[in-house]
Copies of this chain bind each other. A is one copy, B any other.
């Protein structure tokens, strides 16, 4: 372990109060600013890493990140690559001579600044997974791009560009190109057990925008939302940015534990779930659990946001019906994306919303960015209506099942008891843990040395998970690439 430099300021004695009205990160930010202004923290003095200060103060790492981000943007702190964060060496004298002053006065001295919201957003930059092209095994979130019938897309695109009336190069309605909404409603009815009319379908620029709209339109500051733990971290961030109190609710073999949620925060206003393919475990929510969740939503007059992002990829048995199909009383908002079955560059997803919410989503889209480009929407409509989508989906399901099998076989052959695979039922990724007697750290270090990409399970958990795991995406890689990558990994592991 690296030696910690001596510190004069007792960071672990900073007082923050979880019961106070002010959010923890603002309290922490204020304490640190005061300490700098009072001269207790000197110019150039190091501050602890976010991980360490979070542990010392028993707060989340995000709390510390947000506080640091604000102070960085105001110029109180400065960061250097490789040497961490420290108090600015060039604090203006008048700042230091002033007694702890109202924040606006102090920050005016260091130039225009970000808003608090802006600092919170900027702090999330650390989570952006850089594209880095081409992707290498086993980076998750990449679908089987190599199998997409690009020649068909090209042909359809050419026809549309030739035939589209000139005014359709202008605007389309914010809720989406009407024929596309029709096509999606029909597809969802046939394939996903979602009963809806085209009027209930809202086209969005992908899952991210869908969750962002739901968080902001349905929840107010300080209201609570259940999020699966472990779960889809980007969704957690969006709810947090919307000022929502995020309640991580543990997932068991049946899916999100409604009983645990009720104990933690029964009066939450929304539950965000991935029932057909829980991210990142790949498990499916059982039917009794779906009904239990629905019952809770009805009693509490709460919403369920059902994210069916990988609903198409199910390898064992018949797909379970979507929760949306179990209820038609307006408690369930259903969402899906074309990023996983077509390609992410399409930037198209959809929501199915109860009638009374349509106007809010229409206005939200208009305010955010008007509408998605008409071309992608029109070409996708043809792709669906002319049967290419159904054919492509069948091919993808077979291919991804084979790639999953190749990964499982390779892990078994080369890494034997070193890994333990969880949740093979669905999805485009596998969660693996270190097997009994294998040190998880050794396993991940070997992967890194072999150039094998993965996401650690802890990235998708609000609290440190009991067992760390590795999330391996397999969809984008050919069987021989998969075999080779696992082999390289095993070689590195053997060498120690």
Known: A121-B367, A218-B114. A167 touches B134 (CB 8 A): yes
Q: Which residues of B contact A238 (CB under 8 A)?
A: 367
Whether A372 and B347, one on each chain, are in contact in the complex, defined by CB atoms closer than 8 angstroms, is yes
Whether B359 and A122, one on each chain, are in contact in the complex, defined by CB atoms closer than 8 angstroms, is yes
Q: Does A330 contact B (CB under 8 A)?
A: yes
Q: Does A223 contact B (CB under 8 A)?
A: yes
Known: A212-B368, A301-B111, A369-B369. A363 touches B133 (CB 8 A): no
Complex: A10 Cα to B396 Cα, angstroms: 66
Q: Which residues of B contact A218 (CB under 8 A)?
A: 112, 114-115, 118
> Nearest B residue to A223 by beta-carbon distance?
B115
Known: A345-B375, A368-B209, A368-B368. A117 touches B169 (CB 8 A): no
Of B73, B170, B234, B269, which is within 8 A of A135 by CB?
B170
Q: Does A145 contact B (CB under 8 A)?
A: yes
Identical copies in the complex:
2
A461 CB to closest chain B CB (Å) equals 20
Please indicate which of the listed interface residues A145, A206, A216, A373 has the most CB atoms of chain B within 10 Å of its own CB: A373
Q: B-facing mask of A327-346, CB < 8 A → 1, else 0?
A: 00011000000000001111
Ordered by A's residue number, 23 sampled pairs between the chains whose C-beta atoms are within 8 Å are A111-B330, A114-B217, A115-B216, A116-B220, A117-B217, A117-B220, A118-B216, A128-B174, A128-B366, A130-B173, A133-B170, A135-B167, A154-B161, A157-B157, A158-B158, A168-B345, A169-B345, A170-B344, A171-B344, A172-B345, A212-B369, A234-B367, A347-B372
Q: Which residues of B contact A356 (CB under 8 A)?
A: 73
Q: B-facing mask of A343-380, CB < 8 A → 1, else 0?
A: 11111000000001101101110111111111110000
Q: Does A389 contact B (CB under 8 A)?
A: no
Q: Does A6 contact B (CB under 8 A)?
A: no
Of B133, B216, B359, which is within 8 A of A125 by CB?
B359
Q: Does A302 contact B (CB under 8 A)?
A: yes
Of B169, B173, B223, B357, which is within 8 A of A343 by CB?
B169
Q: Does A187 contact B (CB under 8 A)?
A: no
Q: B-facing mask of A140-153, CB < 8 A → 1, else 0?
A: 00110110101001
